[in-house]
Every structure is written in C-alpha cells, then in structure tokens.
Amino acid sequence: MQIKILIFLLFIGFIVELKAQNEDIVSKDTITQKETYFLKGKIISITDKKPLQSAHIVNLNSVHGTVTNNNGQFEIPATANDTIFISYIGYQSIKLRITNDLLKGNELEIAIHEKVVNIDEVMVKSHVLIGVLVVDAKNVPKDSYSRIHISGLPQAYEIGKSYNNTYSSGINAIFNPVDFWYNKFGKKPKEINRLRKLKEGDQMRNMMEQKYSREIMMDYLDMSRKELNDLLTECNYSNRFINKASDLQIIEAVLECYENYRALQKGTVKKDIIRIKDTVF
C-alpha cells in the first residue's frame, strides 16, 4: 500500500514539474514575441522615387514618434503587431502593421502617394480705409470671439458663443457629445491617456504642433472628424479654432474639456467652458 502511495506521489510530482516547464517555455516565447526592435526604413514618393525629408512616423501602440532625415530614412522602436502611422504634408497618410518579418533588420522602402486636395472657395471682402487710424479702426470687423487659456500652452484661444441647439425629438435632446464620449471613455480611459502621452515628449509635441490632419487623434479616440468637431463645439470652442488649430492645440482642448467635465461630475465645474443643457421630459 505504501509503495502505491509513493508511486502516486512521484507521478503527481512529475506532472507538476512538467507543467511548470511548459509554462516557462510559453512564458519565454511570449517574452521573445514582445521583444522591442528598431524598425528601419525609408520614405519615398511613389511618383519620382525621391526621399521625403521630415515625414512623420508614429508608433500608435507605444505613442513614440520620429521624423525622416535628409535621405528620407527613419528608425523607430517597435514590436510585432504594432501599427506604424506614416504621414507627410501633401501626401496620403498610411498605417502599416508590423510583422516579425519586417523586424529582421532589413531597411524598408515605403512609397506613399500624393494627396488630391480640393481647394475650397474663398470669399474676399474689402473694407474701405481712409488712412485715419481712429476712423479705420472702427471700420475693421471686430473679433467676435472671447479668449481662453489652455493649460500647457502659452497662447490663448478664442471660445465660441454659447447657443442653444434645437432638437426635433426627445431622443436627440438627451444626446450630448460631451456626455456620450465621457461615458464611452469611462473613469480610466486609455484613449485619454494616449492623448496625454502625445504631448509629454518634446519630439511628439513638436510633431503634433506641425500637424493639422487630426488623423492620429481620430484613430486614438475612435472618432470621425464630424464627431470630433461636434465635441469641440459642445465644449464651447469656436469654428475658427476648430478649423485652424494644430493637432497639439486640439489635443489640449479635448483634454481641457474632459477634465472640466470630470470636475462637473464631482460638483466643481468651470461653467464657462462646458455648456450644460436643461432637458425637459
């Protein structure tokens, strides 16, 4: 009987040891798969094959960015399954999913297409000036926007005039972009954290100051351009700011709106920033 028990215990011990070894192998494989490499490449124009200097490359997973040198070359840390976002002014932006094959050390050559841009119609208005400063100052249209300061940036930006939207149904009246996105993000939103990381490093701040496409923001927030604009409008930013601000300024505006909405939920709010609607049921 004792011999049977001893054999049984040895058998159980063997199984436990074998399982531990298997788990250790799996763990090592997982670590290997997640090992960080430096992805090297070159960005060129697909039309004339010339290198594109100062193209923006952003790892959307690690929120790390870089720019190409004079020869269009870049180097950026990446792991398998990361997504690299590549953009250049006047060219179509692309997203590239990184595979293990792309991380084997060979330099990639990535060709991007020129972007077809439709120029909007511009209305030019003349204002008759007579050369007398006091009189001319009265004839020049005044800026209809007040100014606000966004934390982290030295400039001040205009804030749009508050207005009450008219709704065609009770369901539409309940919907508010600020409410919707705040509830979607939740208390610990990874989307908002990514936006914060975009402006933490000098390299990323400089990059986002030069961008006006909103593409990275829309990808992180899973928003369309219209949804982003609606959110900024509800946060009381003017159309001028929404259309002209850099991506860094828009990031600051969204974070400011989010923080003020959090303060609203806690009972302390900057009421001049967030527009609150009274809904009658």
* Separation CA 158–CA 242 (nearest Å): 10
Does residue 67 share a domain with residue 167? Answer: no
CATH number at residue 93: 2.60.40.10
pLDDT tens digit sequence for 67-112: 999 999 999 999 999 999 999 999 999 999 999 888 887 789 999 9
* Separation CA 124–CA 208 (nearest Å): 30
Mean local confidence (pLDDT), 209-224: 91
Mean local confidence (pLDDT), 191-202: 87
Does residue 141 share a domain with residue 108? Answer: no
Does residue 165 share a domain with residue 72? Answer: no
| Residue 106 covered by a domain | yes
Residue whose C-alpha is closest to residue 239's, from 163, 132, 152: 163
| Residue 118 covered by a domain | no
Highest mean pLDDT among 34-43, 48-57, 128-137: 48-57
Give the angle subtended at the CA of 110 by the CAs of 105 and 215, to the nearest 5°: 115
Which pLDDT band holds residue 281 (cuts at 50, 70, 90)? very low
Of 112, 141, 157, which residue is a domain's last?
A: 112
Does residue 261 share a domain with residue 145? Answer: yes
- Cβ 156 vs Cβ 147: under 8 Å: yes
Mean local confidence (pLDDT), 248-267: 84
Query: Residue 212 sits in which domain range?
Result: 133-266
* Separation CA 57–CA 77 (nearest Å): 11
Which pLDDT band holds residue 64 (cuts at 50, 70, 90)? very high
Does residue 82 share a domain with residue 204? Answer: no
CA distances from 208 to 89, 195, 232 (A): 13, 11, 18
Sorted by sequence, the CB contacts under 8 Å of residue 195 that are 6+ apart come out as: 217, 220, 221, 251, 254, 255
Does residue 144 share a domain with residue 256? Answer: yes
| Residue 186 covered by a domain | yes
| Residue 272 covered by a domain | no
CA distances from 29 to 18, 32, 38 (A): 17, 5, 19
Does residue 155 share a domain with residue 255? Answer: yes
| Residue 203 covered by a domain | yes
Does residue 164 share a domain with residue 43? Answer: no
Does residue 170 share a domain with residue 77? Answer: no
Does residue 209 share a domain with residue 93? Answer: no
| Residue 104 covered by a domain | yes
Q: Write down the residue that tokens 């997203």 correspond to.
A: 95
* Separation CA 109–CA 44 (nearest Å): 7
Other Cβ atoms within 10 Å of 275 Cβ, number: 17
pLDDT tens digit sequence for 143-166: 444 444 444 444 444 544 444 444
The lowest-confidence range among 15-19, 113-117, 276-280 is 276-280
| Residue 250 covered by a domain | yes
Tell me the three state secondary structure of residue 38: strand
Tokens of 280: 């009658």
Does residue 106 share a domain with residue 139? Answer: no
Does residue 232 share a domain with residue 107? Answer: no
Which pLDDT band holds residue 189 (cuts at 50, 70, 90)? confident
User: Is pLDDT larger for residue 11 or for residue 32?
Assistant: 11
What does the pLDDT read at residue 2?
A: 54
Of 79, 112, 145, which residue is a domain's last?
A: 112
| Residue 28 covered by a domain | no
pTM summary value:
0.65
Which residue stretches of the chain are H helix? 2-33, 133-139, 170-174, 177-185, 190-198, 202-209, 215-221, 225-234, 239-244, 247-266
Q: Left if phi > 0, otherwise alpha if psi is -120 to 50, otherwise beta: which for 148?
A: beta
Burial of 238 (0-12, 13-18, 19+ CB in 10 A): buried
The number of folded domains in the chain is 2
